[in-house]
Amino acid sequence: MPELPEVETTKKGLEPFILNSKVKAVNIHFKTLRWPIPNEIASIKGLKSLGIERRAKYLLWHFKHGSVVMHLGMSGAMRIVSSKEPLQKHDHFEVVFANGKALRFNDPRRFGAVLWQTQDDPLAILENLGPEPLTDEFDADYLHQSLSKRKGAIKNAIMTNQVVVGVGNIYASEALFLAGIKPTAIANKVSKPRLAKLVEAIKQVLAKAIKEGGTTLKDFTQTDGNPGYFAQQLNVYGRDGEDCFKCESTIKRKVIGQRASYYCGNCQR
């Protein structure tokens, strides 16, 4: 599933093509994704984009009267192509620009979303979200306070959008490894100094993954069709049964909160 670095990579890939580009046509080839694509999206025809930003794992594509809100779901990808290029299977949504380019949203599993948000009516899915992990707002003081009443596993806690957005399964495992914290550690029992290490590890892992264009394990590709290269730098994720790069102990796998988690029992406590 595309996580924050993959969504940020997608945003950066789209931005130079769609900013100030006039929309010539909006084509809905398959209306029902995770939710039905609303007809109001056609109202961007004839307009120029005012910009695009990321909030959590959502992309908000702004116009003067509202925003197209997009989510990649489990297998979604967006790419910029010539509008004359034949559609691929699972190309469900398309915006054609006056310059002959087109943005196409491809989603084989159809868990992604293309929604419309007016300026005065924000979507409920964007409310009550925690801070962005790469901002100053996300620090040890904040995390310590947020986890003070959470008695579940630390890995589940940092993957909760109300605590901090965008720390998905891959990057949670990697950050906990760098911080030396076992993923099953009880969230409100982790000391503040250790949480400070975790905050820095989360920022480090996410920043590096964005620099490498995200992580391609199966479905994700960048807007130019290339894979993300961070998979080549994973320390624990997907490496169960292999030697730890630090201590040569065997990497373990454990299901926590219905998600596979990977860790080194020697390096992480």
Options 2, 5, 133, 183, the catalytic residue: 2
Residue 38 token pair: 């609303």
Strands (E) across 46-139 are located at 51-55, 58-63, 66-71, 77-82, 91-97, 101-106, 113-118
Nearest to 72 by CA among 262, 256, 255, 214: 214
Please give the Cα distance from 29 to 72 (Å, whole number): 17
Whole-number Cα distances in Å, 195 to 3, 154, 178, 190, 224: 22, 10, 12, 7, 37
Residue 152: other Cβ atoms inside 10 A: 15
Catalytic residue of the set 24, 208, 254, 259: 259
> ∠ at Cα 40 (34, 43), nearest 5°?
135
User: Among the options 54, 57, 79, 104, which is catalytic?
Assistant: 57
Q: Provide the token pair at 28.
A: 């809905």
**Alpha carbon separation from 176 to 248, 253, 258 (Å, rounded):** 17, 14, 18
Annotated active-site residue 109? The verdict is no
137: annotated active-site residue: no
Known catalytic residue: 3? yes
Pairing of strands 23-28, 77-82: unpaired
Q: Which of 3, 6, 8, 94 is catalytic?
A: 3
Q: How far is CA 197 from CA 143, 204, 219, 247, in A?
A: 11, 10, 31, 19
Q: Which residues are catalytic?
A: 2-3, 57, 259
